[in-house]
Amino acid sequence: MITIINYGLGNLGSVQNMLKRIGVPCKITSDIHEIEQAEKILLPGVGAFDSAIQKIDELNLRSVLVHKAKVDKIPFLGICLGMQLLTRSSEEGILKGLDLVSAKTIKFKFEENSNLKIPHMGWNFVNVNTPSKLTEEFTPEHRFYFVHSYKVVCDENTNSILRTDYGGDFDAAIQNDNVYGTQFHPEKSHKYGMQLLSNFSKL
């Protein structure tokens, strides 16, 4: 059973539908007691960093999420903004992140004459940087759907498990032990997203 965290921001329905499509049981909740019993946690997210952290703190979810990740060490996956929340901070705001991965979130910056637009939006191929059970059986044809203006930068290269090129390489998926994050949206990435979520369900 995958517990999808509802804190008011995120494509909850899309994630739930994709998990149902691959036959993985899941539930959406913001109830602390249900989260305490979770076997796996999925933290989605769309929007601004500070707004998301504020909602998590208002619901008193920070401590239970950190406990499940660091103490219970259950599989924990952040998607898009959910991945950025796993870092210690973001240039998008001033509030402290969950700090579950040694990384920071920074804004894309390009030269004025660059034809690259922000947000980075669309399909991109990914390259395996550090082998992980989350990305088992990935091939060079694997591509995912991205929508984001900020990117994660890991302190240690080994925490970066997938990389993508958009005006230079950046961390597209990260891992710290049992904690994982994807900057892209697996729930919008068809068969490639199905495989990633299936891999997560088997951890």
- Helix/strand/coil for 191: helix
Residue 39 among the catalytic residues = no
Residue 185 among the catalytic residues = yes
CA 132 to chain centre: 15
Sign of the Cα pseudo-torsion (3, 5, 170, 142, in order) = positive
How many CB atoms are closer than 10 A to CB 167? 16
**C-beta separation of 60 from 21 below 8 A:** no
Q: Which entry of 120, 142, 148, 185 is annotated as an active-site residue? A: 185
Single-letter amino acid code for the residue at 24: V
Q: Which entry of 92, 120, 142, 187 is annotated as an active-site residue? A: 187
Give the integer Cα–Cα distance in Å for 87 and 58.
19
Give the integer Cα–Cα distance in Å for 14 and 21.
10
Give the integer Cα–Cα distance in Å for 7 and 23.
24
Tokens matching residue 16:
């739930």
Residue 26 among the catalytic residues = no
Tell me which DSSP letter residue 29 carries.
E
**Angle at CA of residue 136, ends 132 and 142, nearest 5°:** 110
Q: Which entry of 26, 80, 142, 148 is annotated as an active-site residue? A: 80
Residues designated as active site? 80, 185, 187
